């Protein structure tokens, strides 16, 4: 019990010491919390998006075959379907029709798509939630676009896609095949690309090679690669995150430097007094460590808690300008709270420990001064 009480008395003393410089320590705590907040926000958000991407894209096409002409993605002729279907291991192949349309009225890009799973009546459209929001339209409204030949093509909105699916469908504009071809001037013997289903999923690479051999001008994208694209979104190496990270690390460095060089004559004198009245070097260092621990633990809990609220309850509002970029359409998607334990542990480790250590190092130097300096 004496040991516990002793620690508690030292903690009392450490807290009183912190309270003696309230402005300085509050400022440090605020900056520190902000650093943890930014880092945890990025971590939580990237982890949640990756998780959702993995779940949502699990059913993506196994193989997509594009045609490249002079390095550009080009429309693929329908006769390629037969070539692909003839490849051993291919279960089915179907053409996709999709593309982009720039809507000058609101300066937004829409993704036009002919849905393979339903037939849409000519002259009607099903629209994504962001399209509905940005144009302020709903079922029954008519939207008109200028076709490839200058003639207007009009769509009556029949329904909107639920907002809960915004992360994949916010900018979609589902139309009939006839309307799609008429709007963009795509001849009947062309598709945007071809989606292939494989008989045995383990043979996907072999089948891809065979298709590649049969269609030299094709570019093949595997489902695995689509998934991988999003596995590393917001990776720490990415520019913005890197900038953020460098900022945070710099803040930390400034902190540590301030701590390392900030041992004033007053503080040295204090350490001398404590030692003169019977404190051991270990007690002095223990108190300073407690100070550092209190600061960093508080900053971690506050920063992390705020980040959790920010990402999962306030839709990561602070990141919106960055995520939105130049785009007009920005899906408002809810993210299911989820945490990567290892990520969190490393965040904890890299925020709490360096600071605590940084507080100890200079104290160590000071703590070995002779206690008789207070008598001189």
Partner 1 sequence: MSTLRVRPSTVLFAILAVGGVAFGTTCVEACLGPGRAAVRLARTARLAERLQLTDLCLFTEARYTRHASQADRHAAFQDHPAALEHFPSGSLMPPSGAANRASP
Partner 2 sequence: MIHLSDVRKVFNQGRPNEVWALNGINLTLRQGGATVFRGPSGSGKTTLLTLVGCLARPSSGRVRLKDRDISGLPERFLTEIRRSTFGFVFQNFNLLSGLSAIQNVMIPAYPRGLPHKALRRRAMALLDMLDMGDKAEAETRWLSGGEAQRIAIARALINDPEVVIADEPTANLDSGLSAQFLAIAGRLKRDGKTLLVTSHDPFVCEAALVDRVVTLHDGRIVEAG
User: What minimum distance in Å lies between the beta carbon of 205 and partner 1?
Assistant: 8
Residue 157: strand, helix, or coil: strand
**376 binds partner 2, rule: CB under 8 A:** yes
Residues 248 and 265: their CA atoms lie apart, in Å, by: 30
Q: Using the rule CB under 8 A, give the single segment among 77-85, 103-111, 281-289, 362-370 that binds partner 1.
A: 103-111
The item of partner 1, partner 2, none sharing an interface with residue 138, based on CB under 5 to 8 Å by kind, is none
Q: Which of 112, 145, 191, 279 binds partner 2 (CB under 8 A)?
A: 279
Would you say 357 or 374 has its CB closer to partner 2? 374
Would you say 189 or 280 has its CB closer to partner 2? 280
User: What minimum distance in Å lies between the beta carbon of 201 and partner 1?
Assistant: 15
Which alpha helices (H) appear in the chain, and where do they start and end? Answer: 2-20, 22-56, 79-85, 129-135, 166-169, 177-184, 204-214, 223-231, 239-261, 265-276, 281-313, 320-324, 341-367
The item of partner 2, partner 1, none sharing an interface with residue 371, based on CB under 5 to 8 Å by kind, is partner 2
Residue 74: strand, helix, or coil: strand
Residue 153: strand, helix, or coil: strand
The item of partner 2, partner 1, none sharing an interface with residue 370, based on CB under 5 to 8 Å by kind, is partner 2
Q: Using the rule CB under 8 A, give the single segment among 27-35, 238-246, 280-288, 358-366 that binds partner 1.
A: 238-246
User: What minimum distance in Å lies between the beta carbon of 296 and partner 2?
Assistant: 22
Residues 190 and 57: their CA atoms lie apart, in Å, by: 26
Would you say 157 or 169 has its CB closer to partner 1? 169
CB-based contacts of 47, cutoff 8 Å, min separation 6: 338, 339, 340, 343
**302 binds partner 1, rule: CB under 8 A:** yes
**58 binds partner 2, rule: CB under 8 A:** no
Which pairs count as long-range contacts for 81-85, CB under 8 Å and 24+ apart, including other chains? 81/191, 81/194, 83/214, 83/215, 84/194, 84/196, 84/211, 84/214, 84/215
Nearest of 45, 95, 7, 74 to residue 234 by alpha carbon: 45
Letters for 252-271 (x = contact with partner 2 by CB under 8 A, - = none) are -----------------xx-
Residue with tokens 């379907």, as numbered in its chain: 81
Letters for 154-193 (x = contact with partner 1 by CB under 8 A, - = none) are -------xx-xxxxxxxxx-x------------------x
Contact 58, 285 (CB under 8 A): no
Residues 299 and 355: their CA atoms lie apart, in Å, by: 11
Residues 336 and 262: their CA atoms lie apart, in Å, by: 44
**365 binds partner 2, rule: CB under 8 A:** no
Would you say 1 or 342 has its CB closer to partner 2? 1
Restricting to residues 114-133, name those near partner 1 by CB under 8 A: 115-117, 128, 130
The item of partner 2, partner 1, none sharing an interface with residue 164, based on CB under 5 to 8 Å by kind, is partner 1
Restricting to residues 9-48, name those near partner 2 by CB under 8 A: 9-10, 12-13, 16-17, 19-21
What phi and psi values does residue 314 have, to the nearest 5 degrees?
A: -120, 20
**288 binds partner 2, rule: CB under 8 A:** no
**3-state SS track over 107-149:** CEEEEEECCCCCCCCCCEEEECHHHHHHHCCCCCCEEEEECCC
**15 binds partner 1, rule: CB under 8 A:** yes
**194 binds partner 1, rule: CB under 8 A:** no
Would you say 8 or 313 has its CB closer to partner 2? 8
């Amino acid at each position: 019990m004496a040991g516990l009480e002793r620690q508690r008395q030292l903690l009392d003393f450490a807290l009183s010491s912190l309270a003696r410089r309230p402005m300085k320590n509050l400022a440090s705590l605020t900056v520190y919390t902000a650093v943890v907040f930014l880092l945890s926000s990025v971590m939580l958000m990237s982890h949640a998006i990756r998780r959702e991407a993995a779940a949502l894209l699990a059913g993506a096409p196994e193989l997509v075959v594009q045609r490249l002409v002079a390095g550009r993605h080009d429309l693929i002729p329908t006769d390629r379907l037969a070539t692909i279907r003839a490849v051993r291991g291919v279960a089915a192949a179907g053409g996709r029709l999709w593309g982009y349309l720039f809507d000058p009225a609101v300066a937004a890009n829409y993704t036009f798509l002919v849905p393979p799973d339903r037939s849409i009546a000519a002259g009607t459209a099903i629209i994504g939630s962001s399209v509905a929001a940005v144009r302020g339209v709903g079922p029954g409204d008519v939207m008109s676009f200028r076709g490839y030949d200058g003639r207007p093509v009009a769509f009556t909105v029949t329904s909107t896609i639920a907002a809960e699916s915004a992360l994949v469908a916010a900018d979609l504009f589902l139309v009939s095949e006839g309307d799609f071809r008429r709007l963009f001037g795509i001849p009947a013997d062309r598709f945007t690309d071809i989606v292939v289903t494989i008989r045995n999923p383990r043979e996907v690479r072999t089948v891809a090679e065979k298709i590649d051999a049969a269609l030299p001008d094709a570019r093949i994208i595997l489902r695995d690669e689509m998934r991988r694209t999003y596995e590393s979104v917001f990776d720490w190496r990415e520019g913005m995150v890197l900038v953020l990270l460098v900022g945070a690390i710099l803040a930390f460095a400034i902190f540590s430097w301030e701590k390392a060089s900030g041992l004033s004559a007053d503080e040295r004198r204090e350490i001398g007094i404590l030692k003169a009245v019977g404190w051991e070097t270990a007690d002095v260092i223990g108190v300073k460590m407690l100070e550092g621990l209190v600061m960093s633990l508080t900053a971690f809990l506050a920063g992390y808690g705020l980040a959790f609220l920010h990402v999962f309850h306030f839709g990561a509002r602070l990141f919106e300008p960055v995520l939105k970029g130049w785009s007009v359409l920005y899906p408002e998607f809810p993210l299911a709270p989820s945490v990567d334990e290892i990520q969190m542990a490393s965040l904890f480790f890299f925020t709490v420990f360096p600071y605590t250590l940084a507080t100890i190092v200079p104290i160590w130097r000071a703590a070995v001064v002779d206690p008789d300096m207070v008598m001189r």
